[in-house]
Structure 1
């Protein structure tokens, strides 16, 4: 709900273009929730390496699990490098990204716990790469880390990192 002061500022911004941007910014942040904080953009993931060592790290919402692992120097093997096909920005908005999908299958992880259901469904290319690289070690929880964007619901999710395959 806009107050009278905010309506007056809007009218002023239409008449004076030099202050328009500053006023528009002030109005956009004058909502009841306020501006989003960094805390609202971060969740925590727990990585478990092949030896069983656990490491909880912060992850930015929207980054892939592979990006998060790389940021925190967690070795998942070479990234599958392909861009995502699409990203779910909200319940109503599925943004096409026109990516080609993964190009290899080295960054295999197993997802468990919070938010697993919010991961995008596995596409044909990801499924083909997982089978080509990990056929004897595939599980229902198997995914490629570069194909999974982090969502708010994934806070507390566990990411198991299996033994790596030779990638020389």
Structure 2
């Protein structure tokens, strides 16, 4: 309230088209951050952050210094892109339907033998959104949510 009075007194706020109005509702980078917990192949938990719109593979690539590179491989599509086999918890399965066609074949190629199941997804096909904030994802064949 004091800021509004000061703005009116100095002439910065002129009716509904005032100069301060855009600053009060401007989105910040914090609004776009998504925090994930990634469980690596050895069961270690890593808290990582990405931004809305990034794929899980993009986030993994950005954190290779702490996660290592064993969870990421070259995509079978041959374009030099990266790929990862991740496991989603039960509550996210409906949001990311199972793969079919080439994506199902790619998943089988990048995953460890006998580790693909209904929780398995390609990391490049899971896009970060605010709904994923705080989610636990696993690399490879682990199910970290079963031990909680």
Q: What interval of TM-score do these two structures reach, taking the shorter chain for normalisation? A: 0.5 to 0.7
Q: TM-score under structure 2 normalisation?
A: 0.65
Residue in structure 2 matching 1:118, options 86, 95, 105: 95
Closer, same or farther: CA 34–78 of 1 in aligned 2, 3 Å:
same
| Separation in 2, partners of 1:109, 1:156 | 16
Gaps of 5+ in 1: 10-25, 83-101, 164-168
Contact 1:116–1:154 (8 Å) recurs in 2 = no
- Alignment map for 1:3-152 (pairs within 5 Å): 4-6=15-17, 30=22, 34-73=25-64, 74=67, 75=69, 76-80=71-75, 107-112=84-89, 115=92, 117-119=94-96, 122-134=99-111, 136-152=114-130
Contact 1:114–1:156 (8 Å) recurs in 2 = no
Residue in structure 2 matching 1:154, options 127, 132, 135: 132
**SS state of the match for residue 125, structure 1?**
helix
Q: TM-score under structure 1 normalisation?
A: 0.58
| Separation in 1, partners of 2:82, 2:59 | 17
Closer, same or farther: CA 141–103 of 1 in aligned 2, 3 Å:
farther
Partner of 2:9: none
Q: Which has the higher contact order (CA 8 A, sep 6+)?
A: 2
**SS state of the match for residue 149, structure 1?**
coil
Shift in Å at residue 109 of structure 1?
1.0
| Separation in 1, partners of 2:135, 2:93 | 8
**SS state of the match for residue 25, structure 2?**
coil
**SS state of the match for residue 39, structure 1?**
helix
**SS state of the match for residue 61, structure 2?**
helix
The aligned length equals 122
Partner of 1:20: none
